Amino acid sequence: MAWFESFRDRVVLVTGASSGIGRATALAFAAAGARVALVARRQALLDAVAAEAGDGRALAIATDVTEAAAVGAAFDRVVATWGAVDVVVNNAGVLLPSAVVDITARDLDAMLRVNVFGALFVMQEAVRRMRRQGGGTIVNVASLAGRRGYSPLGGYSATKFALVGLTEALRTELHGEPIHVALVEPGVVETPMVEQITHDEEFLDIWPSALNMPPSWVVWAIFAAVRFRLVEVGVPPGAATIEKLAALAPGVADTVVRWAQSVGQWVAGSKRGG
């Protein structure tokens, strides 16, 4: 598409870039001509993604986003290499499924450190850099679970609710400044992280696995948020709006659950039937 040209030679920093949505996003931006900084904890996996991106378009930076100093050092390296950070895709996340009555403080703390504090440190560093360079775009990848809680995702939902709140507050703080802040809220995406809940019967009653989406759907949402300066994008389209309505009218949520179950059963049956 012609609007892909708008990404050419822009500098994009992607957290959680070693797998799943982050990996797919980083490779897509590289394919569109951007220069991509890959940020995650595992250097070997990042090196593999950088090699796949090819043509020297990727820079692999092993970073623990839960450490503010490490985040700052990662931005320093990108700016020293390419001169700026035009787009930040704040995607790093941890999912440790558990019923609320069983969740441990240790697991909740682990999710908070990455999903909330890690995202916060990246946002803060991005704003500092973008103010100095005269603008930029921050895309926070939250979740539909950040609009409504489902078991066994109670702790994960709590962290994503927090990320939604931080994103919306940051947007108001930056009003009038040339820094765009977007929120992308995917449903269930086929990633290594989601494999942890693919056999949970309680969750499957709410969201049949046949409805899981490929990472490419989220990539398109991120691209659209950057290119068209969208404020909030649900994946699939309209899903975030449905979640908001469900919060206002719990009966709507029951209807959505029944719809999801029937559609999931139909899709699964269609696949079996060839």
CA distance linking residue 263 with residue 114, whole number of Å: 34
Residues near 50 by beta carbon (within 8 Å), at least 6 away in sequence: 38, 58, 59, 60
What is the strand order of the sheet 232-235 is part of?
A: 58-62, 35-40, 11-15, 87-90, 136-141, 179-186, 232-235
Low-confidence ranges of the chain (pLDDT < 50): 204, 207-208, 210, 267, 274
* 179-186 vs 35-40, strand pairing mode: unpaired
H-only helix segments in 94-238: 105-111, 119-133, 154-173, 201-206, 215-227
H-only helix segments in 83-149: 105-111, 119-133
pTM (2 d.p.): 0.84
CA distance linking residue 11 with residue 87, whole number of Å: 6
- The domains located in the chain, with CATH, are 2-200+211-241 (3.40.50.720)
- The pLDDT of residue 252: 59
CA distance linking residue 53 with residue 49, whole number of Å: 6
* 11-15 vs 35-40, strand pairing mode: parallel
- The pLDDT of residue 210: 45
- The pLDDT of residue 90: 98
Instruction: Name the maximum alpha-carbon separation found in the chain.
Output: 58
- The pLDDT of residue 263: 53
Backbone torsions φ then ψ of 119, nearest 5 degrees: -65, -40
CA distance linking residue 8 with residue 226, whole number of Å: 13
- One-letter amino acid identity for 271? K
H helix or E strand, kind and range, residue 164: helix 154-173
- The pLDDT of residue 213: 77
Residues annotated as part of the active site: 156
How many CB atoms are closer than 10 A to CB 270?
10
